[in-house]
Structure 1
Amino acid sequence: MKKFFSLITITVLLTSLNVKANNIQLANVVLNGQNTTSQFSLVNFDVSWENSWRTITNEANYDGAWIFVKFRKKTSSLWQHATINLTGSTVPANSVLQTSADGKGVWIYQVLPAADFIGNVNYTGAKIRWNYGADGVLNTDSVEIRVFALEMVYVPQGKFNLGSGGTETYPFIEGSKTSPYSVTSEGAITVSNTAGNLYYTGNGDLGGPIPANYPKGFNAFWLMKYEGSQQQYVDFLNNLDLTRANNRYVGVGVYPGTHPNIIATFPERAANSFSINDCLAFSDWAGLRPFTELEYEKTCRGFNQASLPNEYVWGNTTIANTTAVTNAGLTNETANDGNALYVGGIGRPTRTGIYATATSNRQQSAGTFYGVMDMGGNLWETTISVGSTNSRLFTNTNGDGSLDVNGDANVATWPTIAGSYTFRGGSLSTPLQDIRTSDRNYGSYGINVTVRNSSYPMGLRLARTAE
């Protein structure tokens, strides 16, 4: 039978174009190997990025790429999420290629090494089976596919501390003490000012318990290595139909061009001015999910690490502002000073991963314990609060790749009520105190603000439940 599948365009979603940060690239994307009986075809690709790692000591974690596919019938303007088969993949040398249980995408990362691995990776010859029949595509349909890659970090299972015992605003504490609270499982957590229980004194309703299904950070999860970039968000907009894209364009306003050819003015710059609904929509579209404020602290502080009073996300209390940059707005934008951006700095978002170089240490790179970048300063980390009845109903359900007719996320357990979210990690418009890992100055943001309100310092970072 003649194969009517036609590969028209390949679009690559980059987390950053900066070679010092990651330079993730997809290449040699081809659609072939159509099986009209089982109704699948093979999506072929190579993927590479710089400064990858997989360690077996200390953090014992790794980075990787979350790769997913969108398709469009030539007779339609609607891009849909492709379903990937759980088996039948061709795995590149020295890599693990893991298909998610829901078929929404694949992870690719370094095989377990004999010693700590740090370096550049180039995985060639990957093939994944797209079950096009399950997605309503006929054998004779002509389609266009687009492949996207997001650089992620694996945060492994393990206990960790909430709170530092410092002077942060409304931090988590144990009971009536000022000492940290230890999270030792995903079991329900009692919120009370009595010994052995979790407590905080404000920015939330002090209610509980925090249910077992609410992600607490004990179980493993993946988190975007960098804040979402302008290019990422533009790629998202350009791969929605016009109605959905228009609803997601509100408050952004910095991108020229006309849909579906909107242009990122500064592709590598961290994207901002989002509403919570914008973040949720991108998350659902990419098969990701929001993360919780407990997962935020786990990512920053790490497994089984003692808390340091008033520590920043890079594990100590040393901080300096970025007041000037070189090559502003370019792929090689570099900070002239500092390891964070807060009020009094340059006053606009920086390039994603700006502090990370091939030789920088954790403090210089502003990295968390697990190697996640930019979680302190620059733009807020939008997380799910523990401080409202609605937010505590949140579960670790990932997005399914599809939005409703208005371009909104449609995952039932993701809260859409004011007061369900918290901004962690500070931003370019807040004081340095807000950057402290355990600071909850915005611990239950939006009590009087809807999820449709945009905010200049709101950034984009998302998670996916590990398998």
Structure 2
Amino acid sequence: MKSKNYFSKIASALFLLFAINTNANNVEITGTSVSGNDITFNISWENSWNANVAPANWDAVWVFVKYQDCNTRLWAHTSLSTVAGDHSAASPLQVDPVADGRGVFIRRSALGGGNISATSITLRMTGLGAGPYNFKVFGIEMVNVPQGNFEIGDATSASTFNSINVTATSQSGGITSAAIGGGGPTVPATFPMGYNSFYCMKYEISQLQYVEFLNSLTFAQQQTRITTDPTSASGTYVTFGANYYRNGIVIETPGNNAAIPAVFGCDATNGVFNNVNDGQSGAMNNLSWADLAAYLDWAALRPMTELEFEKVCRGTMPRVAGEYPWGDTTINAFYSTTVVNPLQPTEAANAVVNGRCAVALGSANPGYGPLKVGVFATSTSGRSSAGASYYGAMEMGGNVVERTITVANASGVAFNGTLGDGTLTAIGNANQATWPSISTATGVGQRGGEYVSPASYARTSDRTVAGSTDATRQYTYGGRGVR
């Protein structure tokens, strides 16, 4: 992570402020300052929209704040006011608080589209005593998925659901095993089926986002979330133990004494840390279920269910036999060895072609790997050439696996949609008792395929590995969250 500006001062509440500006994908948060209980910053991002025609949704940034006690050096999640009037945003944005106060959604306040230039936001923090504290603001791009009926199953893909509609009645009364098909148990009304509105991450977790996550953990928590020890030498790769599968996360500054945490960065080109071509925007891979769950809990998000997966992909459109998340049956495999501007924020395909998808490589060669998140989208691409889902989420098919809560077994359907709370256990695990087991991953499956699997796995309704239980780290495993 590159820090752009630093400042410190004493605020009226005796907070010692040390604000670090951050970017993730194309979100930038800069100019952070604190006065009393208010934290102010500028936010910008690209390709924003608020539309009243199909798909009649908007994008937003999920913003949350962490604070660090300057005496203990421990980071914690900051509560934000649940009262809309306590926050402010300059035009063209608005701030939408949430009931649990774990963050806010920032989005366009009126219909429109295009880039959001740096816009001032002020959020009211709650529950903080006198400092001194350091603060950091994080932002994750999301897409809104409105409440409404949708279709699942396509009668063609492997192990597909029965071709049925999910409605308000489904969500309030459950779906019987016979009705949904697929050989699993009855899906209860407490299971998030996708009928109710929610937000989905626009992109898969990026390597920069995972670096920012690691840099907010304690030494003991870091030990659990990487494959090496935090005391390893500067330049040590921490995901595979080597510069494999386009993953460049390294230790910049080693931790020590089993107390002082390491500092992580990106170095996919094996040279100077955090250069423009070090893969910061690449999809994060080699995530176990426990790794993904920890990230989502830390960010106050939650896992996506496989019914929500089909809603995000298909939206309100009628099912099409064998369709992919971009709404048609065209697929053109694309590999990381042929990208333009490799490992840079401008990494792109060498041509705009419908059905572009990082899938079906058929090789586990460590030189291959996932692409930049949103890699196929351009200023002129359509839904199919961008590989975009109905609601604007990118790479729902291909790139890295989407780890979803399955309805194939009892552990999966027991999931009730509990949100993460921003905190982890002392050793860095998710602390949500209602989520599937982090040690066995029973209840967690795979949807959407990835850059090695057969192209058919990327189909919207393909459930070939929907109930596959794997708690290990794999070079094709990544993920995203919802709220």
TM-score range, shorter chain: 0.7 to 0.9
Q: Map of 1:111-122 to 2, 5 A cutoff? A: 111-113=109-111, 117-122=112-117
Q: SS where residue 404 of structure 2 aligns? A: strand
Q: Distance in 2 between matches of 1:365 and 1:2?
A: 49
Q: Secondary structure at the match of 1:442?
A: coil
Q: CA deviation at 1:225?
A: 0.3
Q: Aligned pair count?
A: 422
CA contact (8 A) 2:21 2:31 kept: no
1:184 aligns with 2:184: no
Q: Within 2, Cα distance between the matches of 1:64 and 1:2?
A: 32
Per the alignment, residue 361 of structure 2 pairs with 344
Structure 1 segment 11-410 matched on structure 2, within 5 A: 11-12=21-22, 14-16=23-25, 23-32=26-35, 34=36, 41-87=37-83, 88-113=86-111, 117-122=112-117, 124-131=119-126, 134-135=127-128, 137=129, 139=130, 141-166=131-156, 168-173=157-162, 180-185=163-168, 186-193=171-178, 197-201=179-183, 206-208=184-186, 210-250=187-227, 252-253=239-240, 254-257=248-251, 258=254, 259-265=261-267, 266-303=279-316, 305-323=317-335, 324-337=338-351, 339-344=356-361, 347-410=368-431
Kept after mapping to 2: 8 A contact 1:239/1:260: no
Measure how far apart 1:89 and its partner are. 1.2
Which secondary structure does the structure 2 equivalent of 1:395 belong to?
A: coil
Partner AA of 1:247 in structure 2: T
Which residue type is aligned with residue 127 of structure 1?
T
CA distance in 2, matches of 1:315, 1:372: 12
Residues 375-409 of structure 1 deviation map (CA, whole Å, 9 limit, x = unaligned): 11111111000011111111122110000111110
SS at match of 1:274: coil
Per the normalisation by structure 2, the TM-score is 0.84
What percentage of residue pairs aligned between the two structures are identical?
Answer: 34
Distance in 2 of aligned mates of 1:200 and 1:188: 19
Contact 2:143/2:202 (<8 A) preserved: yes
Looking at structure 2, the residues matched to 244 and 353 of structure 1 have their Cα atoms a distance apart, in angstroms, of 30
Cα pair 2:182 2:408 within 8 Å, conserved: no
Structure 1 Cα separation of the partners of residues 24 and 155 of structure 2: 35
Aligned equivalent of 2:232:
none
* TM-score, normalization by structure 1: 0.87
CA distance in 2, matches of 1:27, 1:190: 47
Code of the aligned partner of 1:184: T
SS at match of 1:187: helix
Letter in 1 for 2:360: V
Tell me which residue corresponds to 2:477. 458
Which letter does structure 1 place at the counterpart of 2:164? Y
Partner of 2:235: none
Alignment correspondent of 1:177: none
| CA distance, structure 2, for counterparts of residue 11 and residue 412 of structure 1 | 33
Task: Please tell me whether the aligned partners of residues 21 and 32 of structure 2 are also in contact (alpha carbons under 8 angstroms).
Answer: no
Residue identity opposite 2:136 in structure 1: R
Q: CA RMSD in A?
A: 1.6
CA distance in 2, matches of 1:391, 1:290: 11
Describe the shift of the 1:74–1:436 C-alpha distance in structure 2 as closer, same or farther (beyond 3 A). same
Q: Which whole-Å CA distance do the structure 2 matches of 1:125 and 1:376 have between them?
A: 35
Q: Secondary structure at the match of 1:75?
A: coil
CA distance in 1, matches of 2:72, 2:482: 30
Which residue, 7, 12, 20 being the options, matches 1:10?
A: 20
Equivalent-residue separation in structure 2 for 1:15 and 1:155 (angstroms): 22
What is the aligned partner in structure 2 of residue 442 from structure 1? 465
Which amino acid counterpart does residue 118 of structure 1 have in structure 2?
G
Task: Report how far residue 347 of structure 1 moved.
Answer: 3.0
Alpha-carbon distance change, 101 to 343 in structure 1, aligned in 2, over 3 angstroms: same
- Change in 2 beyond 3 A, CA 1:249/1:395: same
C-alpha contact 2:323 2:459 (8 A) present in aligned 1: yes
Whole-angstrom distance in 1 between the partners of 2:330 and 2:360: 16
Report the CA distance shift for 1:11/1:308 in structure 2 as closer, same or farther (over 3 A): same
8 Å Cα contact 1:234-1:263 kept in structure 2: yes
Q: Distance in 1 between matches of 2:202 and 2:435?
A: 22
Distance in 2 between residues matched to 1:460 and 1:424, nearest whole Å: 10
Structure 2 counterpart SS, 1:455: coil
Distance 1:241 1:159, change over 3 A: same
Tell me: CA distance 1:288–1:418, structure 2 relative to 1, closer, same or farther (3 Å): closer
Instruction: Give the structure 2 partner of residue 20 of structure 1.
Output: none
Equivalent residue letter for 2:146: P
CA distance, structure 1, for counterparts of residue 96 and residue 427 of structure 2: 32
TM-superposed CA distance for 1:192, in Å, is 3.7
- Cα 1:3–1:158, aligned 2, differ >3 Å: closer, same or farther? closer
Measure, in 1, the Cα distance between the counterparts of 2:28 and 2:387.
24
Deviation at 1:112, TM superposition (A): 3.2
Aligned counterparts of 1:158 and 1:460: Cα–Cα separation in 2: 25
Contact kept, 8 Å, 1:93 with 1:123, in 2: the verdict is no
Provide the rounded CA distance (Å) in 1 between the counterparts of 2:455 and 2:82.
46
1:9 corresponds to which letter in structure 2?
A: A
* Cα drift, residue 2 of structure 1: 5.7
Paired with 2:140 and 2:167, the residues of 1 have a C-alpha distance of 30
Is the contact between residue 322 and residue 340 of structure 1 (CA under 8 Å) also seen in structure 2? yes
Deviations along 1:212-257, one digit per CA (max 9) or x if unpaired, are 1110000001011011110000110010011001101137234222
| Unmatched runs of 5 consecutive residues or more in structure 1 | 17-22, 35-40, 174-179
Structure 2: tracts of 5 or more residues without a match: 1-10, 228-237, 241-247, 255-260, 268-278
Structure-2 change in CA distance of 1:420 and 1:359 (3 Å): same
CA distance in 2: counterparts of 1:362 and 1:170, whole angstroms: 26
The Cα of 1:94 is off from its aligned counterpart by 2.4
